Amino acid sequence: MRFPIFSCVKKTGLGFALAAASAICYGTNPLGALHLYAQNYSPETVLFYRFFTAAILLFAVILAKGSHFKISFREFLALVAFGFLFAVSSLTYYASFKYMDAGLASTLLFLYPLEVSVLMAIFFKERIKAWTIASIAVSMVGVALLYRGGDGSTLSSVGCLLVFLSSISYAIYMVMANRINLQMGSVKMTFYAICFCLCFLLLYSVTLGAGLPPLFTQASSWGWGFMLGFVPTVLSLIFMVKAVKIIGSTPTAILGALEPVTAVTIGVTVFGETITTRLIAGIILILGSVVLIAVKK
């Protein structure tokens, strides 16, 4: 005899586990990126291999599901815009690792839900409620704690600017995706966005970077490149899509707080990044402000 309530609890538990796994997977971005930086590869080269690998894997997933690749001209235009925003957000995020600890960069990037709320209020006249203002205020206190460490030193202004550009471009992407509402699955949409993102990354490399991405010459380089394409990109996306279907977007967004926590943990344990009580307090305030936004929505 089966008890429906036990089945429901088991399914909900699976949903929470998938949401947590998605966030943890995405939080591993610094692990591969910093190892490849140590081998003297540029951010655009690292991102090229990350998204090239992800595109191949997502192509295989779409084929396995029996889905078609056809898109309309309207969808094409939207996906080109998504690809551009993907490229800007990813490039500035990865570049920020050169100027500040990856864990702190990941925490500051996590402010994008607050930026989404502000953008919706400015451009679509959504009313900013009291709890949104409170969340923004709390997050600003957290940023202030991160910006000036306990020893009086400050974060790199260039690094902070890069992370801000990354988070705001991702917030714009989120708003556009919500308003345009393309009638296609998340995997297919991400596949095309990544393909166009690759085009913009190549354009950047040729015009402003060091030229075409060099071929990896070490097995470890290919390993880290594959890891970036698989774990924080494809695996994270698949887990997130499944989690949203089971428990909904709000709990999934709340568990997204594990992303920067994972990045901070990797930074401290693997790369010897410093952590102080002041930084921990700042991180908690920022995560708390974003979780409040998710809960209220």
Q: Mean pLDDT by 10-residue block, N- to C-terminus, for the chain (297 residues)?
A: 56 88 94 96 96 96 90 94 95 95 90 86 82 85 76 80 95 86 86 96 91 92 97 93 83 85 92 87 88 72
**Over the stretch 68-120, which tens digit does the pLDDT of each residue have?**
899 999 999 999 999 999 999 999 999 999 999 998 999 999 888 888 888 88
Please list the residues that pair with 148 across neighbouring strands: 154
* Cα(246)–Cα(14) distance, integer angstroms: 8
Residue 234, both tokens: 């494809």
Which of 29, 12, 17, 64 minimizes the C-alpha distance to 239? Answer: 17
Q: Rounded distance, CA 241 to CA 140, Å?
A: 31
pLDDT at 122: 87
Listed in sequence order, the residues at least 6 apart from 29 whose beta carbon sits closer than 8 Å to its beta carbon are: 93, 94, 102, 106, 228, 232, 263
pLDDT the model gives residue 149: 55
Q: Determine the structural domain holding residue 169 and report its residue range.
A: 4-296
* Residues 148, 141: Cα–Cα separation, whole Å: 11
Nearest alpha carbon to residue 58 among 251, 164, 152, 192: 192
Q: What is the pTM of this model?
A: 0.89
Domains: count for the chain: 1
CA distance 295 to 261: 19
**Paired residues of 154 in beta bridges:** 148
Contact 189, 13 (CB under 8 A): no
